[in-house]
Structure 1
């Protein structure tokens, strides 16, 4: 069976290998250039003690074209699902070649296990190789921008692309087993992959681990270290209840404020200290001191940067479990359905 699978997919394997090799060549060449530029900039800023001036606007790392290509690797798992997973069984049912296979000495379960097993292994390998290249290429940008948790960054680096690739391929295989038509299976695979990814990102990812909330005085401020994922921020009173910040329809804070809090949201004594005229330095400090005396402080809710790999592992595990469940469904369908 393994030899038959190789004969069926050797052309596709050769094309895929060529595409991955071409991508690797582009990433390595531009990645070496980006790493060299980053280390040079670090050496200069360390010597001059001006590292705070490093930013994405003053230091571009890599190539715009390759950067766009790197972002587009977000779609690699979906492509594997619709071009490899969906046709695996659907095409067999459409052409009737499954009937020939099932009349041989190979059982349905072994037939599916070998075909699906090799395809899932290939999907995991492709997802892992592409992700490793992207993660390495993105190293300087991650260090500069500290945005590894951001959508579109988290999803193309680390180990989660492996989970996505295996899940998309398993979804395609199961859709093909249920629908027995290639085009409908492709449509269901693409839609299902997008929906599941969206649900996990928007509803579940931020809750993988309990978020950390840090409080700080109005005069000090606080920024989470590294590439932390900031989930919320605001101000609370002495009772711990959030302070309402009135905003206009375009999201701008209404009224004159101190440290982001409108004067109208402060206690009456602090509003009196602010007066009606423009703020002076003395007035500003008086209002801030009054607010702090009333127990008003700021807070930031976030997932620390140290949890990055824990989040990667949790999300990868979720998609691998979903893939296993889908393959179990495919086995059940193939075992019970007539040829």
Structure 2
């Protein structure tokens, strides 16, 4: 059975090896260049304490290759499900070769077990190598950004792609078995995989672990770090202030500006302070001493605050493991459904 599986999928295997080799060469060369530039920029800017401009320029320089590399790693599980999973059984059913295969000395259960195990292992190894390469390559850019929680960053790093790959493969096999046609199964695999990924990212991942909520007072210090300040055109409208979450945390939600009673304040309550700030000149970029700091000084006596809900920085690896486990369980359930269905198909 192992020899038969190799004979049937050796072309795909050679193609994957070639793609991995090309990706490794490209990422190793450009990654070494990126690390050298990063180290050089840090060494040159430390005496003048002017790293921000240099590092931002470096980030912009590699933003294109980073996007393509992350997109490739995120697309790899879907491609595995489409081209490896969907044709595995659907192809046999379309060609009618399952009649011969399932009437040999090897039982259909063993036939399916060997194929699922062998190709699932190759899928995990492929995704793992790609993830390892992009995680190593992008580590200087991740350090500059200071945020590992973005969709592309989280989905294309560390162990999460392994769970995506095994799930996509099992999904393709299951849909191929149910639809009994390769092309419809491939299309359905792509659609369902994307839907599950969106659902996981938007609704499941933020709730895998209980979030933390903290109250941030509005004053000169916090407002100097504000990323955005929006006031409603109507005097009765809310005031929105985007304050940063704790370092390295994943900000999930943030309330508008609240008073000491926990009620949203109205725009009319801050108009005087807003006018005073504009009289001193327009606010500068985030973090500058001449940003929203003066507005915070004026607002401080009002005892205002913002509630921020977030996942702490230390939850990154637990969430990576939990999400991978969720996909592994889904893959196991799909594999069990395949065994149940195959045993009941007429050979």
CA deviation vs aligned residue, 1:177-221 (integer Å, no higher than 9, x gap):
111111111121111101111111111111112222222222121
Aligned with 1:328 (options 324, 330, 336)? 336
Residue of structure 2 in register with 1:230 after alignment: 251
- Structure 2 segments unaligned to the other structure (5+ residues): 223-242, 281-293
- Judged with a 3 Å threshold, the aligned counterparts in structure 2 of structure 1 residues 329 and 42 are, in CA distance, closer, same or farther, namely same
Residue of structure 2 in register with 1:191 after alignment: 191
Q: Report how far residue 230 of structure 1 moved.
A: 1.4
Q: Distance in 2 between the 1:275 and 1:12 partners?
A: 63
Q: Distance in 1 between the 2:100 and 2:87 partners?
A: 17
Residue of structure 2 in register with 1:174 after alignment: 174
- Structure 1 segments unaligned to the other structure (5+ residues): 246-261
Q: Distance in 2 between the 1:54 and 1:217 partners?
A: 32
Residue of structure 2 in register with 1:85 after alignment: 85
Residue of structure 1 in register with 2:128 after alignment: 128
Matched-pair contact (CA < 8 Å) for 1:61–1:140: no
Tell me if 1:298 matches 2:309.
Answer: no
Q: Report how far residue 12 of structure 1 moved.
A: 1.5
Q: Secondary structure at the match of 1:235?
A: coil
Q: Please give the TM-score of this superposition, normalised by the length of structure 1.
A: 0.85
Aligned CA RMSD, in angstroms, stands at: 2.4
Matched-pair contact (CA < 8 Å) for 2:259–2:305: yes
Q: Report how far residue 274 of structure 1 moved.
A: 5.5
Residue of structure 2 in register with 1:146 after alignment: 146
Residue of structure 2 in register with 1:249 after alignment: none
Moved over 6 A (4+): 275-279
Q: Distance in 2 between the 1:84 and 1:310 partners?
A: 30
Q: Distance in 1 between the 2:343 and 2:16 partners?
A: 31
Q: Which 10-residue stretch deviates more, 323-332 or 59-68? A: 59-68
Q: Secondary structure at the match of 2:70?
A: helix
Q: Which 10-residue stretch deviates more, 46-55 or 112-121? A: 46-55
Q: Report how far residue 49 of structure 1 moved.
A: 2.6
Matched-pair contact (CA < 8 Å) for 1:80–1:165: yes
Q: Secondary structure at the match of 1:152?
A: helix
Q: Please give the TM-score of this superposition, normalised by the length of structure 2.
A: 0.83
- Judged with a 3 Å threshold, the aligned counterparts in structure 2 of structure 1 residues 134 and 229 are, in CA distance, closer, same or farther, namely same
Tell me if 1:23 matches 2:60.
Answer: no
Q: Distance in 2 between the 1:102 and 1:174 partners?
A: 18
Aligned with 2:326 (options 318, 322, 327)? 318
Q: Which 10-residue stretch deviates more, 13-22 or 49-58? A: 49-58
Task: Give matches, 1:1-339, under 5 Å.
Answer: 1-57=1-57, 59-60=59-60, 62=62, 64-65=64-65, 67-219=67-219, 220-221=221-222, 223-233=244-254, 234-241=256-263, 243=264, 262=267, 264-265=268-269, 287-292=298-303, 296-339=304-347
CA deviation vs aligned residue, 1:49-107 (integer Å, no higher than 9, x gap):
33344543465454734642433321110000000100000001111111111111111
